[in-house]
Structure 1
Amino acid sequence: MTTYLADYAWLGDRLARDVHLEVHDGRFTAINADKAGMPGRPAAGGGASAGAADAGPGGGAAGPDAAGPDAAGPDAAGVERLPGLVLPGFANAHSHAFHRALRGRTHHGGPGSFWTWRDLMYETAATLDPDGYLRLARAVFAEMALSGITAVGEFHYLHHSPDGTPYADPNAMGHALIEAAQQAGLRITLLDTLYLQSGVDGQPPDGVQRRFSDRTPQRWAERVAGLAAAPHARIGAAIHSVRAVAAHHLEELGGFRPLHLHLSEQPAENEQCRAAHGCTPTELLDRHGILGPDTTAVHATHLTDNDVKRLGDSRTTICMCPTTERDLADGIGRARDLADAGSPVSLGSDSHAVIDMLAEARALEMNERLATRQRGRFTPADLITAATAHASIGWPDAGAIAVGNRADLVCLSLDSVRTAGADPAAAILAATASDVTHVIVDGRPIVVDGRHTTIDVPRALAEVLR
């Protein structure tokens, strides 16, 4: 058993101080808070300023000399101190690992759009083989670990060789992703993706899209049956989009859970769907029984009021990817409307323009402010809930610091140049991934003092991306 002492810890929807966390076999077995806070506020002295003064400049209980990450470690009683603010592990609910190779390489050549970016993405997709994908994904998942991500939903459609021929192991690319996550120390949900056509018009996949396609749902299902879950890995499914799967095949995915899909990311998708089916993509999915609490719709950017109601009534989770949606000029989704309608909200780094779940959470609120000219559309508690939505990727026993849950923890420095003086209850609106000092996954430290315990992440990224 390991006992941790957190200066500040987020328990449910509230902040607490001086929290003892007992962990055994990778799960929380006891949680004792000496000073329980009000929802979203520190406890001591009746306010943020008093609490920070009592704790010292670093926000900790042991004074300023113990404020930084170097102060962590066991004391004479064997209790390991976790400095700063301790949050549940983050869940990256939408990732395409190979898109990381595009960062910083798509912003030249004049005006562009999602579709011009997609051409560059296809060029990258054409270059990878299983060995290269293992090296790339290992480095990308390790970068995720440095940012506090403890589980990732990998939306996986890069299945076959460049001409569409299956590898000797039909799941070689999927197995590479599962192995990469294990080496990086993360849990993974492999969302194996059905991709059958190039557009709503039913044309077969062409060019690099042939790598994505199993040609029939039956062949896809047979291949997916060869993927095995592991202690760190679960197998889910994905519909790439209504563009890539014909309507009469949608119901064949109904038994796969968790189930994810891209939804209404671009107005062109909506226009094509209306032309072919006389309805929006959301309506089409609803007709075929796809919506529901075990389904996650990614982006959901361009929705009608009726779409919002259908998604909310069905309790379909929405995964917003704000940094990617901005990077690709997609638009601003209706996150607050969807949440109010009944849809849980999760977050993903998608194309990995950055990998920073704190930036994603902050952008969720900031996008709302831009769209509505109102502040406080999402509370800090709301943003933490979205950033830790492990249930959306099939890990319902993670995402909260609670007895019986998986022991996933992220420590944020409260004395960095970004967070110094911030109210710990609102530090999520000030901190970045650079403020992550310690990360624990299933009770095992994988990041200590801001460094991955087994992988030199900058070097690994530089070598594979060279």
Structure 2
Amino acid sequence: MTTTTIWARHAQLPIGMTAKVRITIAGDRIRAVERAEPEPGDIRFAVVLPGIANGHSHAFHRALRGRVQDTRGNFWTWRDQMYGIARTLTPESYFALAHGVFVEMVCSGFTAVGEFHYLHHGEDGQSYDNPNAMGEAVIAAAQAAGIRLTLLDTLYLSGGLAGAGHLPLDPVQRRFADRDIAAWARRVGDLHDTATCRIGMAAHSVRAVPRESLLQLASVAGHRVIHAHVSEQPAENAASGLVYGMSPTQLLDVSGLLSDRFTAVHATHVSADDIARLGQARSFVCMCPTTEGDLADGIGPARAMADAGARISLGSDQHAVIDPFVEVRGLEMHERLNSGERGRFSLDELSLAMSRDGYACIGWPEGGQLRVGALADLVAVRRDSARTVGTRAAQIVYSANAGDVSDVMVGGEFVVRAGVHRSGDPGALLSKAFTRLRMD
């Protein structure tokens, strides 16, 4: 078993940012963490952070970056543009695109990702010969990129929700849908955990999953984590109220889904009652500030949800930006804009959202921490760039960006060294993927 020792001038430990720390790694685990002076043979870094989790990703949305940002409209018009990309993908082109996206993530500092996966079947909605061909393409892409993955296989059964009830599937949505929850569960049952991939579950939303299927989902999921888009748009709340007489959060609660294994993604337009329910259940809430801004979704009540007992995590969702430092600053800055006050989240709370709670929300509770026994996932950040020079180590999240990540370790192995990913340049990988998609 290979042993590696890392010495950090500053490291983000569970007790806070700490000076002069040696971290001993054997296999895929951290075996010792101690205050010490550097020794010969130590790999030295300026600042070491625990692994950073991307709690909510749609890898194929990356193909929209810089192509739809100038258009007028709202979430619903953007969704039509997203469907255009969804129509084109095959398992082969999806692997190429997801590989490039995941390499970009690792280079930016993400060491684990929850992929909210609903692109299941062929363009006509018919299953591939291997019903999990698309999901396995995502798993293979993550393995090749060296990022820890939770494949959140997503239940998607209806085309939407209106006052009269659930709508039939649009043609493109047939790619997303299984015949019923039993067929979905059988397909997901053929996917298995590995050393670097875990299988989780998701309900796309209360728009896409009728109540009778939500009622079955908790028992189907068992011990696995469950995610769902929740109240991203006011229209979803209005439709849920008309059809069910309750909010999406209330519907998920009475369906038995709110728990400490559940993650509400976005939770932008939630009520005081919704907040109380999420907090009482100790559920996670995954905020995606760059996407919520890009899609004009709104600013969710993150501070209120955290105060109620919900645990906050972060995601880059549609990947208009892939940068964990931008996302974590967005969490705080959105709160400042809403409240007129600074310091809405402490530095320790921001670290938890990036790391420990992010890992836990995607089913890796042993990760996102620099402590003995934790997964050996970590990120080294420079303090000598034009952005970070002069920064106090504890406040690195306020000055750094993805370009300041120098080295990334996942499972005890360096995936990025001196800014270079072992798979090569993510831009070149994405360029090849876009060529496959015939994008100009």
User: Same fold by TM-score, threshold 0.5 exceeded?
Assistant: yes
Alignment of 1:2-401 (within 5 A): 2-34=4-36, 77-81=40-44, 83-109=45-71, 111-200=72-161, 201-255=165-219, 256=221, 257-388=224-355, 389-401=358-370
Identity over the aligned pairs, expressed in percent?
A: 51
Deviations 1:85-135, CA, capped at 9 Å, x for gaps:
1000100000000000000011234x2100110000000000000000000
Give yes or no for contact 1:184–1:455 (8 Å, CA) kept in 2: no
Equivalent residues, number: 425
Match of 1:447 among 384, 398, 416: 416
| Structure 1 ranges of 4+ moved more than 6 A | none
How many Å apart are 1:168 and its aligned residue?
Answer: 0.3
Deviations 1:14-41, CA, capped at 9 Å, x for gaps:
1111111110011111111139xxxxxx
Distance 2:15 2:354 in 1: 13
Distance 1:140 1:5 in 2: 30
Does 2:425 correspond to 1:456? Answer: yes
How many Å apart are 1:199 and its aligned residue?
Answer: 1.4
Distance 2:138 2:95 in 1: 6
Does 2:393 correspond to 1:435? Answer: no
- The residue number in structure 2 matching 1:69 is none
Deviations 1:300-354, CA, capped at 9 Å, x for gaps:
0001111100110111100000000000000000000000000000000000010
TM-score for both structures, normalised by structure 2: 0.95
Give yes or no for contact 2:69–2:294 (8 Å, CA) kept in 1: no
Query: SS of 1:202's equivalent?
Result: strand
| Counterpart residue identity of residue 195, structure 2 | P
Match of 1:409 among 378, 395, 409: 378
Distance 2:6 2:403 in 1: 22
Deviations 1:401-439, CA, capped at 9 Å, x for gaps:
000001111011111111111111111011111110000
How many Å apart are 1:142 and its aligned residue?
Answer: 0.4
Distance 2:173 2:133 in 1: 17
Give yes or no for contact 1:380–1:429 (8 Å, CA) kept in 2: no
| Counterpart residue identity of residue 64, structure 2 | L
Give yes or no for contact 1:5–1:80 (8 Å, CA) kept in 2: yes
Give yes or no for contact 1:22–1:31 (8 Å, CA) kept in 2: yes
Distance 1:352 1:463 in 2: 18
How many Å apart are 1:457 and its aligned residue?
Answer: 1.4
- The residue number in structure 2 matching 1:57 is none
Give yes or no for contact 2:106–2:147 (8 Å, CA) kept in 1: yes
Distance 1:88 1:251 in 2: 37
Distance 2:190 2:377 in 1: 29
Query: SS of 1:262's equivalent?
Result: strand
Structure 1 stretches lacking a partner, 5+ long: 36-60, 62-74
How many Å apart are 1:198 and its aligned residue?
Answer: 0.8
Q: Report the aligned-residue RMSD.
A: 1.1
Once the two structures are overlaid, the 10-residue window that deviates more, 379-388 or 189-198, is 379-388
Give yes or no for contact 1:181–1:188 (8 Å, CA) kept in 2: yes
| Counterpart residue identity of residue 369, structure 2 | A
Distance 2:272 2:167 in 1: 31
Change (3 A) 1:370 1:465: same
- The residue number in structure 1 matching 2:387 is 418
How many Å apart are 1:248 and its aligned residue?
Answer: 1.2
| Counterpart residue identity of residue 236, structure 1 | G
Query: SS of 1:308's equivalent?
Result: helix
| Counterpart residue identity of residue 437, structure 1 | S
Distance 2:179 2:374 in 1: 40
- The residue number in structure 1 matching 2:438 is none
Distance 1:95 1:260 in 2: 12
| Counterpart residue identity of residue 42, structure 2 | V
The structure with the largest alpha-carbon Rg is 1
How many Å apart are 1:454 and its aligned residue?
Answer: 2.5
